[in-house]
Chains A and B, each alone.
Chain A
Amino acid sequence: MSSQALLYVIVLPVAWLLLWLLKGARARQALLLIVSYGLYASFGPRFLALLIFSSILNYGLGILLRRKPSGGRLWLGIVFNVALLGTFKYVPAIAPLLPTSSLSGSLTGIALPVGISFWTFQALSYLFDLYREEELEPSLLEFLLYMAFWPTVLSGPICRLSTLLPQFRDPFQPTSEDVRRGLDRICTGLFMTALGQVLGSGLHPGQGIDGIFDSSTRGLTGPDVWCLAIGYGFELFFNFAGYTHMVIGAARVFGFRLDENFDRPYLSTTPSEFWTRWHMSLSFWIRDYLFLPMVMLRRDAWWRSFVLVLSMVVFGLWHKGAVLFLLWGLYQGLLLVVHRQWQQLQVRHDWQLSQTIMAPLSWLVTFCTICLGWVFFRANTVTQALTMLHAAANLGSFPRATLPANLFILVAVLALGYFATIGSQRLLHNYSETLTIPLEFRFALYAVAVYIGIFHAAQTQAFIYFQF
């Protein structure tokens, strides 16, 4: 457990109690802002200064856009936010390529403020919405809170002001249902992040997904690479979706309802569907503010494909200014284009394929191609990624596996366990209205989740998406 996590555990219950005592919306917003700034400052006071600077400037740009929603003013906002993000996120990445060593040295040392990608995109969505003449009139206090809101500021979900503003203005009245559901989700998140940690660190030291990616991956066979790709896909999912569960759950305890970020993504049967189920808040942001406005500019098929690829490249580069993320975005974009071409072929030739065969086949192809793409996301170098992909496609290497058997078993158990859990959830869904878990049993389940998520995970594992 980090110092920051302890601070959250101490501060939030106190804030929750204090909010009950405050009557006015402004007083509650002020308290939430103080709490949000205090928690964010624990990651570095300089980061907080930058967040406040960005918030005030974006609020000012918002006033300009409200008065006259012109393209010029919107572009001013876009340039400012992209420049801010670029300075802290991309300049250090390209600095080593600069000829002057002293300059490149100082630029490389620029620290990445926690959550900058998330809150910058929130600021941009506000400006885009104003340009579209949405009725958004936050006070400065409300806008500062929107940008720094403690559940979302570190790793999302990337929220829209239209979702949060009414909730900021509502009375503070979390119901027992909110608290119960919130705690349920926090515990689910703890459990999922613990599973992610098990995959990352393995059952034995150095035998987890991360350890193998970080050591030499030469000599890996096809089954090894597939195990690593699928394993990392689940590690990332458990880690990020688990974190999101905790964020949404913590906000729910306070009575706030945040947008979902994941919707059983590995059940997707097409790449397009996958991107409506994985990191949904970013995916929908890209769709609404980049893909749709751009695709409307021309009606040509090639333009649509180009914008699709471009959007996914931006999606990739949003994570990090690195060639590997560019390649990952390119790969995902190409998958979407290929899928679209396939759909058009089906329509053009009126292929009627049996759903009994097509649905599982389509799921399998989608699952495998998406998982293979994670190699770009996790590899440490382009060479490593390409070597691994080559091995994955090398059918001659398939009878052999060099990774420890326990890793194959672990990945298989967790992957199958995930699908089995979803299956059982569907079965239970019909009974969920009548099924009530007694309070005492619920506390016992919470204890198990807290133990697995906090105590058993003695060594702290950072949330993967904190680095973005």
Chain B
Amino acid sequence: MKSLTSIGRWCLGLVIFAIVLEVCARVDDVVTYGAPFWGPYNDEILLQRDSIGKWGKPGARYAKWQLNSLGYRGPELRVGSVRILTMGASETFGLYEAPGEEYPRQLERDLNLWAGKDLFQVVNVAFAGETLPTTIVRVPQIVRQIHPSYALIYPDLSSYIWMSLRSPANNLPAQDASRSGLKFESRLSGRVENLLKQALPISIQNELRKISMRREITSRHYVILDRLPEDRFEHFRQDLQALIAALRDYEVEPVLVTHATIFSRPLSESDRISLTHWRKIYPMLKEEGFLDMEKRMNDVIRQTAVEEHLPLIDAEKEMPHGPKYFADFVHFTTYGAGVMASILANGMEPLLHSQLQAANVMTQDGSAVQPNPAGGDQR
């Protein structure tokens, strides 16, 4: 009887241990991020739904991500600035960088340093999982809110892998959409996962990813593709042209940017691990298919720039590769975001020269900044 009581108390102790850990995680969230103690707390709280789909919730905050009053990542709009949009997906929204160090923020600092004054404001209208079709529909709303002069388009190419598997208007992969706000979500589980990611050797993590990938392929009956079929690239070309047209309708000058990745040629062992990591998210495309996809889609971007007479910043060629610059297959480290920002700044400076001169003339005259030639009203 005594030993039974003892076992019972130990079991109760372990339950208390787990509960207190969960409570600590929640208190930590409250203290560090101002998160609610009860209820779910995940990246979904950054988003809201409207007739088009998911969109940033004004003023929302999750962990290091803070949206402004318009629902975009970054500070509030500044009056009198020349505004430049950055359009894209998670690479542009920023995942791994320190807060305020995602490439749009660093680009803004670089441009203003070049200008010698706080003239430019880079507005990051990207979201993780954002697709070109959704962005096209959003253009009128974005332009109405921001009145930009330029739009840097850094498209997420991998969203075209999902095309046949989900509706284009849905921003997030099918499995993410099922996340409900009502069910209990442990705040500790994510932390345990992060700890294991830090602690498990990369080779073991890679094998675990392969197992999970095989399981998903089997359970969802995916047809495995060696490379993306040509129709996806045609879709991408049409979407890109439609986005350009939509922006031009509002007199916003698009600037195309090719897509950079961590992968160097020939592939290193860590590159192969990163490819497996990428494939885990899109299991239906073989690893080599991603490299082929990147090459062909970047070719589409380059061709479109020529056909549409648009400025092109070839980040794919200019951006160095490797883990110093990329935290995973396509997402930047803080340092990598800085390099990307300087590449973009170099590409943008010739385009912005006229704005800078106009601003300088206005400053000398002592009058306000005049409307810019590209159409933004610079409030």
- Chain A interface (Cβ within 8 Å of chain B)? 1-3, 5-6, 205, 439-440, 442-444, 446-448, 450-452, 454-456, 458, 460
Contacts and interface: CB of A to CB of B under 8 A. Distances in A.
Interface string B16-27: 111111001100
Interface stretch (B36-44, B167-175, B196-204, B296-304): B196-204
Interface of A is mostly: helix
Contacts, number: 60
Nearest to B32: A456
Nearest to B195: A1
A407 B301 CA distance: 50
B12 to A, nearest CB: 6
14 contacts: A1-B195, A2-B198, A3-B200, A6-B200, A439-B13, A440-B9, A440-B13, A442-B13, A446-B17, A448-B20, A450-B21, A455-B24, A455-B28, A456-B28
A3 B201 contact: yes
Contact of A447 (B24, B191, B194, B195): B24
A205 B97 CA distance: 14
A448 B23 CA distance: 9
Given A205-B98, A444-B20, A447-B24, A454 B13 contact: no
B10 interface: yes
A451 B13 CA distance: 16
Nearest to A450: B21
A440 B25 contact: no
Contacts of B52: none
Contacts of A448: 20, 24
Interface residues of B, number: 25
Contacts of B14: 443
Contacts of B242: none
Interface string B63-99: 0000000000000000000000000000000000010
Given A444-B17, A448-B24, A439 B188 contact: no
Contacts of B192: 455
A458 B194 contact: yes
A447 B20 contact: yes
Contacts of A451: 20-21, 24-25, 28
A259 B260 CA distance: 56
Contacts of A205: 98
A410 to B, nearest CB: 15
Contacts of B201: 3
A5 B198 CA distance: 10
Nearest to B21: A447
Given A3-B199, A3-B200, A458-B191, 18 more contacts: A2-B198, A2-B199, A6-B200, A205-B98, A439-B9, A439-B13, A440-B9, A440-B12, A444-B16, A444-B20, A447-B18, A447-B24, A450-B21, A451-B24, A454-B195, A455-B25, A455-B191, A455-B192
Given A440-B9, A440-B13, A444-B16, A455 B21 contact: yes
B206 to A, nearest CB: 14
B196 A447 contact: no
Contacts of B9: 439-440
A440 B16 contact: yes
Contacts of A460: 198
A3 B194 CA distance: 13
